[in-house]
Amino acid sequence: MSRGSRHFVGALSLMLVLLVVAATALADKPVPKSGVLNGYTSQGSPYHGVTHFTVSKSGRAVTLEIVPVGVSCEINGSPGLQSGAVISSENFKPTGKVDPLAIVKGKFSYNGPIYGVLSVTGKGQISGTFKSPTKIVGSARFSWPSSIVGPGLEGPCDSGKMTFSARHE
């Protein structure tokens, strides 16, 4: 094989590899199907949360509700108080209006304040991925700084990290 032929074969091989990489990167992500997806969180009993996700008609936004989210509160330095909280897209805005999360390339996320659940503003971290147009998986965590959880009971509260999955029924 001549020197020119080897350069041509090498260049052709490189182009093929780049085309495969580009095709993989540009592969379509699942387009979420509009409607309601239902599922569960990984939290154990008694707070085995039920999840509800609603995908907009355009498939570009999602709202959520997790009922209940198990929350553990530390009281006077000791863990103990357990309670259930409802977290939804209404808790992302201080006004209580629904704040849909944008779906970009089959994924959505939220990392910000959680309003109106306990006595103080908390923090929420949510991320989800559409594995198919009708199936979603992800994780979430919610926490609050020192919060009043009852008469004379005050302390930080946390849900711990939980995973969730849901699908169209």
Residue by residue, what is the 3-state secondary structure of the chain?
CCHHHHHHHHHHHHHHHHHHHHHHHCCCCCCCCCEEEEEEECCCCCCCCEEEEEECCCCCEEEEEEEEEEEEEEECCEEEEEEEEEEEHHHHCCCCCCCCEECECCEEEEEEEECCCCCCCEEEEEEEEEEECCEEEEEEEEEEEEEEEECCEEEEEECCCEEEEEEEC
pLDDT (average), residues 76-100? 87
Look at residue 112 and tell me whether its pLDDT is greater than 80: yes
pLDDT tens digits along 50-87: 899 999 999 999 999 998 888 888 887 777 767 788 99
pTM of the model: 0.78
- Mean residue pLDDT of the chain comes to 83
Q: Report the distance separating Cα 51 and Cα 162, nearest Å.
A: 12
pLDDT of residue 43: 79
Contacts (Cβ under 8 Å, ≥6 apart) of 20: none
How would you label 24-47 residue by residue, b for 16+ Cβ within 10 Å and e otherwise?
A: eeeeeebebebeebebebebeeeb
Name which of 36, 32, 70, 77 is nearest 53 in CA terms.
Answer: 36
Q: What percentage of the chain reaches a pLDDT higher than 90?
A: 54
pLDDT of residue 1: 61
Q: What does DSSP say about strands 50-55 and 35-41: parallel, antiparallel, or unpaired?
A: antiparallel
pLDDT of residue 79: 74
Name which of 68, 113, 61 is nearest 91 in CA terms.
Answer: 113
pLDDT tens digits along 131-169: 999 999 999 999 999 887 777 778 898 998 999 999 997
